[in-house]
Chains A and B, each alone.
Chain A
Amino acid sequence: MIQWLMNIDRRIIFVFVFLGVALPLLANVYLPIKPTRDVIAVYDQLEKVAEEDGVVLLSFSYGASTAPEMQPMARALLRHCFSRNIKIVAICLWPEAPGLAQQALEEIGNEFGKTYGVDYAFLGYKPGNFSVVLNMGQDIRDAFPQDNWGTPLEDLQLTQDLRTLQDFDFVFDLAAGDSIEFWWIPYGQEKYGFPFAGGCTAVMAPDLFPFLQSGQMLGLLGGLAGAAEYETLVGRQDKATAGMSAQSMAHLIIVVFIVFGNMAFFLSRRR
């Protein structure tokens, strides 16, 4: 038995992980989730923007490979903004992002009966990474002269009075790469001084903690857990909360296999 455990086929572990991920998703199991300080800070900032009837810039900097983590985050944020009548201007700094951004904007926009050009605008993708951020700080129309479908920004009710990044009441970057620490903070927030926060994949979150301590970021949504916490705050359990159950179960299975593996190893040494 011990020898069998020591030489267990990796494919058996894959089957356990598959079942551990699939079953909670199929059975709609929801675990209790408690929002943390950095997530609440983002929520509070958006509530503040809502009271001022403000405009939020939402930057999509992720692609299909990180969509399971980032898309629920975007949906939860959009749901909060639209439910509080916050205006949204969305841009993409990753070439893969426009399809995902458009899908989220249209779906959640329709859910709340929002009108394109009045309640939200989608400016599409622009290459250039940090230079786009710099350019937007000087003049948004330099970086994005038209929206995703070629309509000049002057012709959209929402964007006709927006000139620079400082005209936004809050900027939020959804990042799967280094866009927060290498584009938005040094070339945007630090230079032009607007309220800024971000959401990122779980593995990136520890890299961004110093920016929270320095005050350059107001808050942070870290990975699927951050998205699930935001869904809890918004009061609508969606894909992140469901995904957390699957992720927690997968983590539990891996921990169990690590414990079994170590036990088998030490028992085999005794013999």
Chain B
Amino acid sequence: MTRDTYVFIGLVLLFAAINGVLLASGTLTADWNGFGIIVAAGLTLALYSFLYKDNPLFKFAENIFVGVAAAYVFGQYWYQTIYGEIFVRLKALGGEDSVSGDWWLLAPTLLGLLMLTRFSRRFGWLSRLSFPEPSLRLYSPK
């Protein structure tokens, strides 16, 4: 085993021992709240382990943080805006609960959807229609 492996095992054992003492003394509660604190502390230390050198534990924690952050932000956009204000109101169009002004929602929704065309090489240019300044440049003579 290399020196780094000994350092890694030593730190994991130290972390486990400290948490064991905290749990035994009652400082940390043996429930989901306590478990959450241990996971948060472990992931934070895993990120700081980069200060020693790049390692698989750091990469693992880094990917978890990026994934959780991206999913959380998507959740906020989805529930608050895309579903909460666009989907629900567009679904009601033409029905009894329909609000006449809501037809205008179709315009920004379409412009927003056009931005997703960036994922296509063929239709990617359509995404530029959503931005006034680049769109003008698109149609201005060279």
Contacts and interface: CB of A to CB of B under 8 A. Distances in A.
Nearest to A128: B81
Contacts of A145: 85
B33 to A, nearest CB: 13
B77 A127 contact: yes
A125 B51 CA distance: 35
B77 to A, nearest CB: 7
B131 interface: no
Chain B: interface secondary structure?
helix
Interface stretch (B8-16, B55-63, B68-76, B119-127): B68-76
Given A11-B51, A11-B52, A126 B73 contact: no
A95 B85 contact: no
Contacts of A206: none
B84 interface: yes
Contacts of A148: 80
A99 to B, nearest CB: 7
A96 interface: yes
Size category of the binding interface on chain A: 10 to 19
Contacts of B76: 95-96, 98, 125
A14 B80 CA distance: 42
A148 B84 CA distance: 10
Contact of B80 (A11, A96, A99, A124): A124
B73 A146 contact: no
Contacts, number: 25
A150 interface: yes
B63 to A, nearest CB: 16
A96 B65 CA distance: 13
Contacts of B81: 126-127
B131 to A, nearest CB: 14
A64 interface: yes
B58 to A, nearest CB: 14
Contacts of A126: 80-81
A206 B81 CA distance: 35
Contacts of B72: 95-96, 99
Contacts of A95: 72-73, 76-77
A11 B51 CA distance: 7
Contacts of A124: 80
Contacts of B51: 11, 14
A99 B80 CA distance: 13
Interface of A: 11, 14, 64, 95-96, 98-99, 124-127, 145-146, 148, 150
Interface of B: 51-52, 69, 72-73, 76-77, 80-81, 84-85
23 contacts: A11-B51, A11-B52, A14-B51, A64-B69, A95-B72, A95-B73, A95-B76, A95-B77, A96-B69, A96-B72, A96-B73, A96-B76, A98-B76, A99-B72, A124-B80, A125-B80, A126-B80, A126-B81, A127-B81, A145-B85, A146-B84, A148-B80, A150-B84
Given A126-B80, A127-B77, 7 more contacts: A11-B52, A95-B72, A95-B76, A98-B76, A99-B72, A126-B81, A127-B81
Closest 5 interchain pairs by CB? Answer: A95-B73, A95-B76, A125-B76, A14-B51, A125-B80
